[in-house]
Structure 1
Amino acid sequence: MMCASDPYEGWTYEGGALRWPFACFWAAQLAGQDAHRPPVPYDTSMVPIIDALGADPPRWFQEWLAHPEDDGYWTARRPDLQAIEVPAFSVLGWFDDFSSGTAQLVGSLGAEAWFGPWSHMPWGTVHGGIEFGVDGSPSGLPAALLAFFDRAFGRSQAASKPPVRYFVINEGWREAEQWPPLAHTRRWSALSESGSALSRWGDGRLLEIIGEEDRVLGAPVPVVVEPHAPVPGGPIDYQDESAIHDRRDLACFDTEALGEDLVIAGSPTVRVVTRSDRPRHDLIATLCVVAPDLSARVVTSYAQRMSHGKQVGTERHWEITLRPIAVRVRAGSSIRLTLGGSRFPCYDLNAHTETQSAHSRREEQVVATIEILAAGIALPVVDTLPASGSAAD
């Protein structure tokens, strides 16, 4: 299996933001199957979004959009993982939209799993124009799955290997007794001397720290979010987004070039303190590896739809857990954290109003200013082993 167990978080929504291309595609596909025909046409640029599948959208599509909060509708459809008593085997792709949910499922069930450099389907080895090669292929999966069934049905007494096998980008395969693997945490705090950490050419820096305090030094970093001109971006696929980082509606914070290799394995966490002039806004965090040639490949991200409610203009503290990833960051490269208020069409547009709904029209969307008062990132770091020379180098 390669999916999330929660129909809300990590499936239809992500941190409260609608996973827009998936919601459209899945609803269109189901509607086509119901009518015994190909998927119905859809338009992800449509506003209001309820009209994306035409004037008579499927009932379930209307229900998904009518329940943007994690309420009883989703609770009634959420499986009881405690009731599962059989062995499980799962597959996770670093570039699969369901990766967070799959990782949680593996942890909850104690499942055997392979984590590879793949999307949801097909399990190809080219991402962001980079070929991961034979070593990154899923060619060993059929044998691993058959061996799992042999053990599960008592046809083999052979001892299993460590239950988790995961691919480290820029290195190759590793094995672990669990996911996430045992790691130690290293933390960086975001710094901006003048509050001008906007775009990759600003003064945003990440400084490694020991302790718990994350502060943006100097003035707050103001991110202005214009719904009519959102930050462009689709699902994560190891793509180079250096050109997007030229935009002035993205806060960018970079480490210095690393003096030695760093291996990240697990789900990084981002802590942010914000203040906004609107009751609702989104915050999309991405983690990128910046090479010496200045390319910036996105390795993980996550969205959070934030509601200030009646506390407009007051400080709010947030913690965002990014999608799982395993990557070896080479010496000479740096790590970049970006914080923005939109990523379209990856997520639906936030109207920045308290009454936003699937029926909100374009003229109801308003500009929001998000002040980043503090930010930091915690990375799960594992021991550095000799690299095997992955094709992603």
Structure 2
Amino acid sequence: MSGRGPRLTRVAAQEYRRLARSEGMPPATHPEVQRDRDIPVRAHDGAALLTDHWHAPDAADSTLLIRTPYGRDGIAGVAKFIAERGHHVIVQSCRGTFGSEGEFSPLHDEVADGQSTLTWLRAQPWATGRVHTWGGSYFGVTQWALCDGPDRPDAMGIAVSARRFDDGIIYPGGGFAIDTTVAWSFALRMQERPLLARIGMILRAASALRRGSLTVPPAEAAQAAVGTDPRFFRDWVEHSQRDDPWWEPLHFAQDLASIPPVALVAGWRDLFLQEQLKDHAALVAGGVPAKLAIGDWLHGAPETSVMGVRDALVSFDSLDRLPDVRIEVTGGIGWRELDSWPPPAESRVWAATAAGGLRPGAPDERATPLSYRYDPADPTPSEGGRTLGPFASGYRIQRRREARSDVVLFTSDPLDDDLLIIGEPRVEITLTSTNPRVDLFVRLCDVDERGRSRTVTDGYIRRNPEAGTHTVLQLASLAHRFAAGHRLRLQVSSGAHPVYLRNPGTADPIRDHSRLLPSEQTFDVGGEHALALHLPAVDGAVLRPMS
């Protein structure tokens, strides 16, 4: 069934123009592209999954497959751009979205529906060559799911996504990502509504998300924010215990032998960062061809699409043409290439002092206890972070957070020389509490000459009451230059709400908010159990200019 041609929505047209203006893109070779709309691809249970086919009359036999719950029109700019470079492009709406039959139940049908789609695709007379897949976030989830069936793509281009969706964005650090989960529920509820209704929801979004994040019990947060009660949200609250077998079928591509060559695009400010880097390490260790690029991006940033499309067009020829590791080094350096991730580094220890200082070298021999009070009724604000919610994400000035009594600060003297940190920092701390059920959140900041403190990276853990008081907390990976004249600042606290749901201090911190129990935390600077920051310092010679 032929449509009337590749007409684009305003948003898709902007995406197309952004791709066309981007450096390094190959020229269009097949400008006469058409779009065959609403092809009903039958799933295993007979549900029609509506699918668009973008192609030029004389296109090659290679195909790019994109499966999305966010609408085929939204990705039409990418589809048209790639089709103009001689490839077939298939864009399919996931079950229960944008005209596809069935009910959208996140993650649950992606293996079977993806296999049905691949079976249909392989049977098309024009699809006799390689089949690649592409896309980020949930698009990436659908790609990982394709690895769990008898058929699989020849290569994948996955941006800001991970094989384990639960560990990646729902329960980071063992807590609950209330901002991300409510924001996603809000976005799904909004996306297929009429324009005026969407505008109204956007205007109310900030207050709605805040209301949801503070709802008691948290299982009703989506209902409070969105006005609907999606089953998946309640499932996520109910199955929040680590290693709950409910999640096991939804951990995709766990057999490394099932994974084709893959190009990964990650972001320093993205919520999938740490889990995606775990995926990359596992792929490399398992001998799976894997390329990695990490930019200074929030989730959903248009730059991830630009890099992903460029990489996809290169990988149709050969994935080997891509560098092994590309990173954007923040702090004014920009894009560089590495031989591997992480690069060789020297671990440098920075010790906190009783006067609120932070200095390189061993801690003082004398222990000095410091204390702060955490009150879940007045949760410590996140002021930025890796989250899907637009009102709490990214790098933020830390003035409001650092003025609070429940955030303890340690600040270095101005640096004499640049300090290049690449890899995964860690903090060692021995924290005692009047309530053993307490969270730990540590943030590393860059303080400029004017005294403005900005997030660089942070780490979070919901502490296990049975694990003892000593904690080694891994902060999220980074590649940052602290410039000469700048200072390092370390924040220690027990919360970062709403990026991580406040811990009420009760037996089940995710489901049970019947009581909100304040607690007093104490830790030492100096002595045998001193707070220590370990930074992976790197020689700038390991960084190569982009080829």
Q: Structure 1 length normalisation: TM-score? A: 0.81
CA contact (8 A) 1:242 1:294 kept: no
The residue that corresponds to 2:165 in the other structure is: 7
| Unaligned residue ranges in structure 2 (runs of 5+) | 1-157, 285-289, 386-393, 525-529
Map Cα deviations across residues 327-366 of structure 1 (whole Å, 9 max, x no partner): 11101111111111111111111111224342423xx001
Give the Cα separation in 2 of the matches to 1:101 and 1:73: 19
Structure exhibiting the larger radius of gyration computed from Cα positions: 2
For residue 83 of structure 1, report the CA deviation from its aligned partner.
3.1
For residue 102 of structure 1, report the CA deviation from its aligned partner.
1.4
Higher relative contact order (CA 8 A, sep 6+): 1
The residue that corresponds to 2:239 in the other structure is: 67
Which letter maps to 1:176? L
Q: Secondary structure at the match of 2:237?
A: helix
- Is 1:53 paired with 2:226? no
Identity of aligned residues (%): 27
2:251 to 78, 81, 89: 78
The residue that corresponds to 1:221 in the other structure is: 370
1:286 to 437, 440, 443: 443
Which letter maps to 2:379? P
2:326 to 160, 165, 173: 165
Aligned residues between the structures: 351
For residue 77 of structure 1, report the CA deviation from its aligned partner.
2.3
The residue that corresponds to 2:456 in the other structure is: 299
Give the Cα separation in 1 of the matches to 2:241 and 2:361: 35
CA contact (8 A) 1:215 1:376 kept: no
For residue 112 of structure 1, report the CA deviation from its aligned partner.
0.7
Give the Cα separation in 2 of the matches to 1:307 and 1:298: 26
2:540 to 378, 384, 393: 384
The residue that corresponds to 1:191 in the other structure is: 353
Alignment of 1:205-284 (within 5 A): 205-209=357-361, 217-236=366-385, 237-284=394-441
Alignment of 1:288-327 (within 5 A): 288-309=445-466, 316-327=469-480
Give the Cα separation in 2 of the matches to 1:387 and 1:100: 22
Which letter maps to 1:381? A
CA contact (8 A) 1:81 1:108 kept: no
CA contact (8 A) 1:268 1:322 kept: yes
CA contact (8 A) 2:352 2:531 kept: yes
For residue 162 of structure 1, report the CA deviation from its aligned partner.
3.2
The residue that corresponds to 1:345 in the other structure is: 498
For residue 387 of structure 1, report the CA deviation from its aligned partner.
11
Map Cα deviations across residues 297-316 of structure 1 (whole Å, 9 max, x no partner): 1011121101325x8xxx61
Higher percent of residues as helix: 2
Q: Secondary structure at the match of 1:299?
A: strand
1:287 and 1:84, CA in 2 relative to 1: closer, same or farther beyond 3 A?
farther
Map Cα deviations across residues 12-65 of structure 1 (whole Å, 9 max, x no partner): 111111111111122344566899997997622322211112286222211211
Map Cα deviations across residues 129-183 of structure 1 (whole Å, 9 max, x no partner): xxxxxxxx9755533332123114xxxxxx6353111011111111112211222
Q: Secondary structure at the match of 1:220?
A: strand
The residue that corresponds to 1:156 in the other structure is: none
CA contact (8 A) 2:264 2:292 kept: yes
CA contact (8 A) 1:290 1:335 kept: yes
Alignment of 1:68-107 (within 5 A): 68-71=240-243, 72-79=245-252, 80-107=254-281
TM-align CA RMSD: 2.9
Give the Cα separation in 2 of the matches to 1:34 and 1:141: 26
The residue that corresponds to 2:314 in the other structure is: 147
CA contact (8 A) 1:189 1:216 kept: no
Map Cα deviations across residues 190-227 of structure 1 (whole Å, 9 max, x no partner): 221xxxxxxxxxx22222226xxx67954311121011
1:140 and 1:360, CA in 2 relative to 1: closer, same or farther beyond 3 A?
closer
1:177 and 1:207, CA in 2 relative to 1: closer, same or farther beyond 3 A?
same
Give the Cα separation in 2 of the matches to 1:148 and 1:14: 32
Give the Cα separation in 2 of the matches to 1:255 and 1:103: 29
1:288 and 1:84, CA in 2 relative to 1: closer, same or farther beyond 3 A?
farther
Give the Cα separation in 2 of the matches to 1:384 and 1:293: 26
For residue 8 of structure 1, report the CA deviation from its aligned partner.
2.6
Q: Secondary structure at the match of 1:243?
A: helix
Give the Cα separation in 1 of the matches to 2:338 and 2:361: 28
The residue that corresponds to 2:213 in the other structure is: 44
Give the Cα separation in 1 of the matches to 2:238 and 2:372: 29
CA contact (8 A) 2:337 2:543 kept: no
Q: Secondary structure at the match of 1:233?
A: coil
Which letter maps to 2:413? E
For residue 89 of structure 1, report the CA deviation from its aligned partner.
0.3
Give the Cα separation in 2 of the matches to 1:385 and 1:328: 14
1:371 to 512, 518, 522: 522
Higher percent of residues as strand: 1
| Unaligned residue ranges in structure 1 (runs of 5+) | 125-136, 153-158, 193-202, 389-393
Give the Cα separation in 2 of the matches to 1:384 and 1:88: 28
Give the Cα separation in 2 of the matches to 1:220 and 1:81: 48
- Is 1:123 paired with 2:296? no
CA contact (8 A) 1:191 1:204 kept: yes
Which letter maps to 2:167? E
Q: Structure 2 length normalisation: TM-score? A: 0.59
The residue that corresponds to 2:44 in the other structure is: none
The more displaced of 87-96 and 42-51 is 42-51
